A and B are shown apart, each in its own frame.
Chain A
Amino acid sequence: MRRALLITAIVSVTQLFAQETLPPGPGKQLVLDTCVQCHDFKWITGQRKSEAAWRQTVNMMIWRGAPLMPGEAGVISKYLAQLPSTGAGRGGPRPYTEAALPEGRGRALVISACVQCHDLGVTVDQRKTLSEWRRSVDEMVRLGAKLTGSEIEVVARYLVQSFGPPK
């Protein structure tokens, strides 16, 4: 029974991870490079539009300064139109597992800064070195996580202490 619950939990976490992060595709990096400077990541993934409607939106974003190159408006519009429905950006409740986080300096920061965008399962399942966690946290800040420069280091050290490589 315990094993079955564990498998169920892992599957749920994986599904949530898939929902809360961008699926692979030719437009994923473009979204990360050109949209998140001005928009909350969740807001982009939370909208459902046809490719034509996305194309109009992307054009308007270019008018406002989005740094796209020729031909990329089509790529990004097609990609956004294929995103699975998440309901993100509509303020719905998000499950997460605070209990999976061991005590330590930085735990509160992880709870406050990370669960705004993704379930904690995607964090606790990973094993990374300090430099890898630093890169991950930097990337999250780039995507909108509300952490200051010194807090980034605190969070990275907490994560490596709690979810570092197997010893």
Chain B
Amino acid sequence: MRDLAKRYLGGKISRRDFVRLSTAAGFSVAATQSAVRALEPMMAATSASALTTTIQGTGGELVAEQLRAAGIRFIFVCNSSGQGPLADAVADRSDLQFIQATSEHQAVAIADGFAKATLRPSFAAFSRVGGPLASANMFNSMKDRTPVVVITDHIDSGADGRDGAEDTDDWLEAFKQYTKWRWVTKEGNRIPEWLAHAFKIASMPPCGPAFLRIPRNVLYQKHKAEIFSKQSLSVPMSLIPNSRVVEEAAQLLVEAKNPLLYVGAEVTASGGRADILELAELLAIPATQAWSWSADFPTDHPLYLGSYLHPLRYPPDVDLFLNLGAKMPDQGGGAPLVPRAAKIIHGRIESSQIGVNYPIDVAVVGDVRETARALVQAVKSILSADRLAAIKQGRFAEAKQATDGFRAAYLASAHEQWDASPITWPRLLLTLDEMLDKDAIVVEEVGTEDWVLRSFSFADDKKMKIGRTLGRALGWGLGASIGVKLAIPDRQVVTLLGDGGFLFGQSDALWSMSRYDVPVITVIGNNRSYDEPRNNMFMHGGRAQQQGKDMICYLGSPDVEYSDIARAYGIKGERVNGPDDLRPAIQRAIAATRDGRPYMLDVRIARTGLGADSTWYPHYSVAASRTRKV
């Protein structure tokens, strides 16, 4: 109890956690409530004294102090005259660390990876004209609800509204779709207030990017302002779902013959993976994965079916669709992707997204972890232990038979072309799964997510998956892997990209990777093609497909030597030409990263699907079009 009281007074646990942990430790509810009452005066005194601190300084210093108060250590920054006052402030504050990127979209990618790995807000700062370049990865952050706070400078406060150089009249409108909240802070004494607000908004589920602009003259001027403590920014959002609604949902769950669990990123964002697993195992509910930046259910679990398909082969005749933490399946312009006979329970903290386009039987608003915990308790209160065991036994055995079969078929198909050259994706991924550390982090940005989900064992005590983003805007993975490694330096980090994805401006990230000794293994699956778009386009059977013309997907001319690009940044790497070269190359990459340096593998991969053999592209030579050799 003393230790819990100390943690409570120190703001490390909430009042709710104090009560929960005390009772779990064996103290009675009455004793716990008595302790809470005794601690409240001390808590109030502690809070009042620590909520704000008044300081004087430049706008840059106010930003730095507010960052310190918010618990920020890394500032993901790009070169910018407007960030001069922040650079001056950081020069005197050794607890703040600049991590520089050479372009704004990579600064945001690094920040996004850091925030995803820590589930805490990250911070990026760059030039006012860098915003448009950053917007692709801000879009990714927004789609994933990643808590990233971005500041830029802004034209001097006396000069805006003239569509001047480096300016446009309404920057906030430009960022409206990519940010959860945005503001221009023109009063210097309010810089900490709005920056604190940005952190609060960004980190309150559903999270998302917050964007603040500060006029350059305001950043250089001195102001007197109040800095907001970290405690004052805390808005506990572990929202408990309505108990009546939970009971209704639990009743449907126990009555269902063929329930299905569909999980999304809110599971991971809420820290609720173990609780969702407990719920699934309680009733042996097979689980499917929605599009998500994380693996929200253990991928080698006997109940895990893989990505959601409709109709499912197993279980047949789904009669209950339990969606925890994801949007409903997007049917595009077609029919709904949930069987019409199935009842739907949809639980999310992002209440506005519940039941979009689908009729919902039970809507559960709340933190997904808390919802899972409440459902577990409610189910246990409805069914006896014997009845639960009986339900679980039959269903679990069926699910295991199905998932074992799917897994065996995948491995058989992979091994059927195991020695093919160029290397197949399954051989590359399964070999990586075997050779990497058991708890490696895989940052992935490849075209077909199931390749990755089927090949690696992702779970809380195994490997971790970060990416691909829900926004799918390419140019994220390499930068994100830097942020992930910064956040969790003691775990092996590997980033998986296609050559097409890398060519979306990601060589910029190699500069940061090299400068800061970021020991990440970069694996480029190089099939010299945008494989997925070619298949998607050719499947429509249009004129390009009929004529065998791969109009915009072939990348083999020029045939880029990616390890040479890495070498230009001082990063070692190599090309992997055939299956026999793969294991030794991975071993060298592992050794290089253990020595503290990044390493790149350019793995020549087989193209797949429609038009895979084609190397045709619409050639044009500017040189040949000249009339003078100039």
A→B interface (CB under 8 Å): 33-34, 37-40, 43, 46, 55-60, 62-65, 67-70, 72-73, 89-91, 138, 141-142, 144-149, 152
Contacts and interface: CB of A to CB of B under 8 A. Distances in A.
Interface residues of B, number: 37
Contact of B408 (A46, A65, A70, A146): A70
Contacts of B74: none
Interface in B499-538: none
A144 B539 CA distance: 15
A138 B412 CA distance: 34
A141 B313 CA distance: 16
Contacts of A46: 541
B539 A141 contact: no
Nearest to B606: A60
Contacts of B306: 65, 67
Contacts of B609: 57, 60
B406 A67 contact: yes
30 contacts: A33-B311, A40-B539, A43-B539, A57-B609, A58-B413, A59-B413, A59-B416, A63-B414, A63-B424, A63-B425, A63-B451, A63-B608, A64-B448, A64-B450, A65-B306, A67-B305, A67-B406, A68-B406, A68-B413, A70-B408, A73-B412, A90-B541, A91-B541, A91-B542, A146-B334, A148-B335, A148-B336, A149-B340, A152-B335, A152-B340
B414 A144 contact: no
* Residue from A70, A145, A147 with most neighbouring chain B CB atoms (10 Å): A70
Contacts of B313: 33-34, 67
A138 B414 CA distance: 35
A165 B406 CA distance: 42
A62 B408 CA distance: 11
A38 to B, nearest CB: 7
A59 B417 contact: yes
A33 B311 CA distance: 7
Given A65-B454, A67-B314, 8 more contacts: A37-B310, A60-B609, A63-B608, A64-B451, A65-B306, A65-B309, A145-B335, A149-B340
B451 A149 contact: no
In the A-B complex, the 7 residue pairs with the closest CB atoms: A65-B450, A69-B405, A59-B413, A37-B309, A62-B413, A67-B313, A141-B335
Contact of A60 (B405, B412, B608): B608
Interface string B332-355: 011110001000000000000000
B307 interface: yes
Contacts of A91: 541-542
* Residue from B305, B313, B409, B414 with most neighbouring chain A CB atoms (10 Å): B409
Given A37-B310, A38-B309, A63 B410 contact: yes
Given A33-B313, A43-B541, A63 B426 contact: yes
Contacts of A69: 405-406, 408-409
A11 B333 CA distance: 35
Nearest to B313: A67
Contacts of A72: 409
A57 B609 CA distance: 7
Contacts of B409: 62, 68-70, 72-73
B546 interface: yes
Given A59-B417, A65-B306, A148-B335, A70 B412 contact: yes
Contacts of B424: 63
Interface of B: 305-307, 309-314, 333-336, 340, 405-406, 408-410, 412-414, 416-417, 424-426, 448, 450-451, 454, 539, 541-542, 546, 608-609
Contacts of A64: 448, 450-451
Contacts of A55: 416
Nearest to A148: B335
A167 to B, nearest CB: 29
A89 B410 contact: no
A137 to B, nearest CB: 10
A152 B416 CA distance: 42
B413 A146 contact: no
B364 to A, nearest CB: 23
Contacts of A63: 410, 413-414, 424-426, 448, 450-451, 454, 608
A119 B594 CA distance: 64
A87 B340 CA distance: 33
B311 A37 contact: yes
A63 B427 CA distance: 11
A39 B412 CA distance: 23
A148 to B, nearest CB: 6
Given A43-B539, A62-B409, A56 B417 contact: yes
Contacts of B454: 63, 65
A60 B609 CA distance: 8
A68 B454 CA distance: 13
A131 to B, nearest CB: 13
A149 B335 contact: yes
Nearest to B448: A64
B556 to A, nearest CB: 20
* Residue from A65, A148, A149 with most neighbouring chain B CB atoms (10 Å): A65
B371 to A, nearest CB: 27
Contact of B309 (A59, A67, A144, A145): A67
Nearest to B337: A37
Nearest to A113: B335
A43 B541 CA distance: 8
A127 B342 CA distance: 28
Contacts of A147: 335
A21 B608 CA distance: 27
A144 B416 contact: no
B541 to A, nearest CB: 5
Contacts of B334: 144, 146
Given A37-B311, A39-B539, A63-B451, A73 B413 contact: yes
B328 to A, nearest CB: 13
B406 A149 contact: no
A160 B312 CA distance: 29
A146 B406 contact: no
Contacts of A145: 335
B307 A65 contact: yes
B541 A89 contact: yes
A57 B538 CA distance: 15
Contacts of B305: 67
Nearest to A138: B340
Nearest to B311: A142
Contacts of B413: 58-59, 62-63, 68, 73
Contact of A149 (B336, B416, B542): B336
